[in-house]
Amino acid sequence: MRVAQRLFYVLALIAAGLVIAPAATPALAQDFPNRPITVLVGLAPGGVTDVMARLYAQKLSLALGQNVIVENRPAASGAVAAAALQKADPDGYTLLVFSGAQHATVPAMSDTAIYDPVKGAEPIGVIFNFAGAVAVPADSPAKTIAELVALSKTKPDGLNFGSPGVGTPSHLAAAKLIAATGMKAQFIHYKGGAPMMTDLVAGRLDVAWPSAPASRAFLEAGKIRALAIDGDRRWKLVPEVPTLKEAGFGDVSVANWFAIAAAPGTPRPVIAKLSAAIAEAGRDADLMRRVEEQGLTVATSTPAELGQWMAKEAADIRALIARLNLRQQQ
Considering the domain architecture, whether residues 188 and 40 belong to the same structural domain is answered as no
Q: How far apart are the first and last CA of the chain?
A: 67
pLDDT for the residue 252: 78
Buried b (16+ CB within 10 A) or exposed e, 26-48: eeebeebbeeebbbbbbbbbbbb
pLDDT for the residue 262: 98
Q: What is the DSSP code string of 47-101?
A: SHHHHHHHHHHHHHHHHHTS-EEEEE---GGGHHHHHHHHHS-SSSSEEEEEEHH
Neighbouring C-beta atoms of residue 138, cutoff 10 Å: 15
Rg (CA), the chain: 23
Closest among 244, 216, 232, 212 to 148, alpha carbons compared: 244
Considering the domain architecture, whether residues 269 and 302 belong to the same structural domain is answered as yes
Considering the domain architecture, whether residues 220 and 288 belong to the same structural domain is answered as no
CATH of the domain at 102: 3.40.190.150
Considering the domain architecture, whether residues 275 and 296 belong to the same structural domain is answered as yes
pLDDT for the residue 7: 46
| Residue ranges in the chain whose pLDDT is less than 50 | 1, 3, 7-24
Neighbouring C-beta atoms of residue 269, cutoff 10 Å: 16
Q: Give a yes or no: residue 304 inside a domain.
A: yes
Query: Which residues, in sequence order, are bridge partners of residue 69?
Result: 38
Structural domain count, the chain: 2
pLDDT for the residue 18: 44
Considering the domain architecture, whether residues 138 and 183 belong to the same structural domain is answered as yes
pLDDT for the residue 16: 45
Range of the structural domain that residue 185 is part of: 132-230
